[in-house]
Structures are given as structure tokens and as C-alpha cells.
Amino acid sequence: SMPRFPRTEADIAALAVLVTDGLEQAAQDFPAPPVPAEELKVKLGTFHTASAAAVAAETTAREQHAAKDEALEDLVDSLKANLKYAEFAVREEPEKLSRLGWSTRRDGTPLPPPGETRDITVVSEGDTWAILRWKPPADGGAPSFYRIQRRQEGAPWEDAGTTTATEQLMSNQPRGVQLHYRVLAVNKAGDGAPSATVTLVL
């Protein structure tokens, strides 16, 4: 079974750099990766560019976040394909995987559920949308994704979206009513404690 693939964009990008460098330097061990190092470099560049654009211009958040998510997904697929290939290529000497920043060992410690999601804020809002941002829990197990919940005054909480990122564009939100939002981190072991609540009226 493969070790846990990194969750955060920063860790995925860091792994991409290690895999690319390793494939270039240890070409004799990994002669034919499904996605060559050169191409991986281009994909990483595409992701960095889309990522910078998404941060720079939150006004066009929708299209740019979609482009960034697409670029990240493409990079993740390529990395996973190369790591699977690499595990097979050096299966007799798995320690060679360390050249790619990877290993086949898993630690056997059970994963605890995540802690409480922190510092939720509304970073911008429009007529029917808002962008929420938060920080990962300071404790507990690594989150696999976040669950965004919404409720109107007096109503129960309902799920309004999920994301692996630490911000989310909430589009097509009802207008003229008080909306409460909160975020929970989730992993295989369960849900973390919900964040504080933010309230807004669009």
C-alpha cells in the first residue's frame, strides 16, 4: 500500500520538486516514467502560475480557482502515476525511492480525528457569493478535507460544500437573510470540532 499522499498544496508542490529532481538525477534507476521530468516541471509551473493568479485576483475567483484546481489535479495525477511506476521500477531496492522524496514504509500509528478549525473569516463578498477562509486545526490528525456548513437564523446546520483547500467560494447564496457559516475538518477518523461561526447578510 502506498504511503499517505500529501494533502496541502504546498506539500504537493514540494513533493513535485523532489520527484522531478530525483527523476533527473537518478535516470538510470527510473528510465521511463509515465510523465517525464521535463513535463512534470511544466505542470508544476502551470500550477504555480495559476495559483499566483488565484491569490492575486480574488475578484475573478471562480474561473481562477477552477483553473488552479484543475492544474493541481493534473499535477497530482502525474505525481501518483510516477510514484507508482517508481515503486515498481525499484521494487527490489525500495530505499532508492528516497531519491524521489518517497518511501513505501507506513507508520502504524492510528490517525486521530482533526482538531478545531481556526480563524474563519469572510475575505470578500458580492451580491450572491462570499469567499470564506480559515486555518487548519492546530492539533489532531491531518484533515483530508473540510466541510462547510450553513444555516439561517433559527434553522439547523446543513452541509453547504466541501473542499481540500482552506478557502471556499460560496456561490448562489440566498440574499437578504442572515447567514451563519462554520467549517469542520474531516479525516478517516471523523469530524473535528466546528470552527467559530461567521455571520453575514448578502
Predicted confidence (pLDDT) at residue 23 exceeds the cutoff of 90: yes
Could you give phi then psi for residue 161, rounded to 5 degrees? 160, 160
| Residue 158 confidence (pLDDT) above 80 | yes
CA angle 123, 127, 132 (to 5 degrees): 25
Q: How far is CA 170 from CA 11, 86, 164, 197, in A?
A: 25, 39, 14, 15
pLDDT of residue 102: 87
**Residue 108's pLDDT is what?**
59
**According to the model, what pLDDT value does residue 56 have?**
67
pTM above 0.75, yes or no: no
Amino acid identity at 35: V
